[in-house]
């Protein structure tokens, strides 16, 4: 899979690429490309935002800047999903993550300040995604959230078996995973449920199924 991120801070993604799961799939299952709007802006002095028509505070990411960036990379409108990260987008859920992970290519557009010129979302993007009902300062953390969630779904990202039985997975009927415990078996009078120490795999499996919420 190839994921392209358009941002003003490509260097901010460096730490993410050094961490699992992205580090585990980079160069094999995942090709990640980071593009800076400033590198292709048609405006002088690296300008990318402008004042909002109608007045008001803040700066808006220009449509011609994003169009130039997409043209430079794809030579026109790409046929794969182009996702604007916006608090006004549809909510990111595990189902959306699975949808994206099944795509061979995905483009993520980040904005900052007041956000995108509306024509970017309406005309240049094919989708808009919110990572939650709150406002962050820019789309880079949301892009990293999408990247991490999608990368976990790629073959080889996780240790065998650890990606299937997770919260929101089909295997758990979309529910929340059962609780996990590790050593010590008792701490400050807080015991681990006996069944998990029993060695009886059928009982453990039944207990876990019962505790999916």
Ligand X SMILES: C[S@@+](CC[C@H](N)C(=O)[O-])C[C@H]1O[C@@H](n2cnc3c(N)ncnc32)[C@H](O)[C@@H]1O
User: Contact at 8 Å (CB) between 16 and 26?
Assistant: no
Q: How many residues belong to the chain?
A: 213
Alpha helices in the chain (DSSP H): 14-17, 22-25, 37-40, 63-74, 94-101, 118-119, 140-152, 194-197, 201-210
- Which residues of the chain form contacts with ligand X (CB under 6 A)? 85-88, 110-112, 114-116, 130-132, 134-139, 142
Can you tell me the distance from the alpha carbon of 71 to that of 209, in angstroms, rounded to the nearest whole number? 50
CB nearer to ligand X: pick between 53 and 134: 134
Provide the 3-class DSSP secondary structure of residue 158. coil
Minimum separation from the CB atom of position 47 to ligand X (A): 17
- List phi, psi (to 5°) of 101: -65, -20
Residue with tokens 């026109």: 76
CB nearer to ligand X: pick between 138 and 169: 138
Minimum separation from the CB atom of position 209 to ligand X (A): 34
Minimum separation from the CB atom of position 206 to ligand X (A): 39
User: Contact at 8 Å (CB) between 8 and 112?
Assistant: yes
Minimum separation from the CB atom of position 125 to ligand X (A): 11
CB nearer to ligand X: pick between 90 and 211: 90
CB nearer to ligand X: pick between 26 and 59: 59
CB nearer to ligand X: pick between 79 and 137: 137
């Amino acid at each position: 899979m190839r994921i392209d991120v358009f941002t003003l801070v490509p260097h901010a993604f460096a730490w993410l690429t050094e961490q699992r799961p992205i580090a585990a799939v980079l160069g094999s299952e995942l090709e990640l490309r980071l593009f800076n709007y400033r590198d292709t802006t048609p405006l002088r002095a690296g300008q990318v935002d402008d004042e909002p028509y109608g007045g008001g505070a803040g700066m808006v990411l220009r449509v011609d800047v994003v169009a130039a960036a997409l043209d430079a990379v794809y030579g026109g409108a790409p046929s794969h999903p182009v996702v604007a990260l916006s608090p006004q987008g549809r909510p990111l859920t595990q189902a959306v993550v699975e949808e994206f992970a099944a795509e061979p290519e995905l483009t993520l557009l980040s904005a900052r300040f007041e956000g995108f010129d509306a024509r970017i979302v309406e005309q240049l993007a094919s989708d808009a995604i919110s990572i939650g009902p709150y406002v962050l300062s820019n789309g880079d953390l949301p892009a990293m959230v999408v990247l991490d969630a999608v990368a976990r779904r790629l073959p080889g990202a996780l240790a065998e078996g650890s990606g299937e039985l997770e919260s929101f997975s089909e295997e758990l009927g979309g529910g929340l995973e059962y609780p996990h415990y590790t050593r010590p078996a008792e701490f400050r009078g807080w015991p681990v449920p006996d069944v998990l120490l029993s060695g009886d795999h059928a009982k453990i499996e039944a207990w876990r199924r019962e505790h999916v919420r």
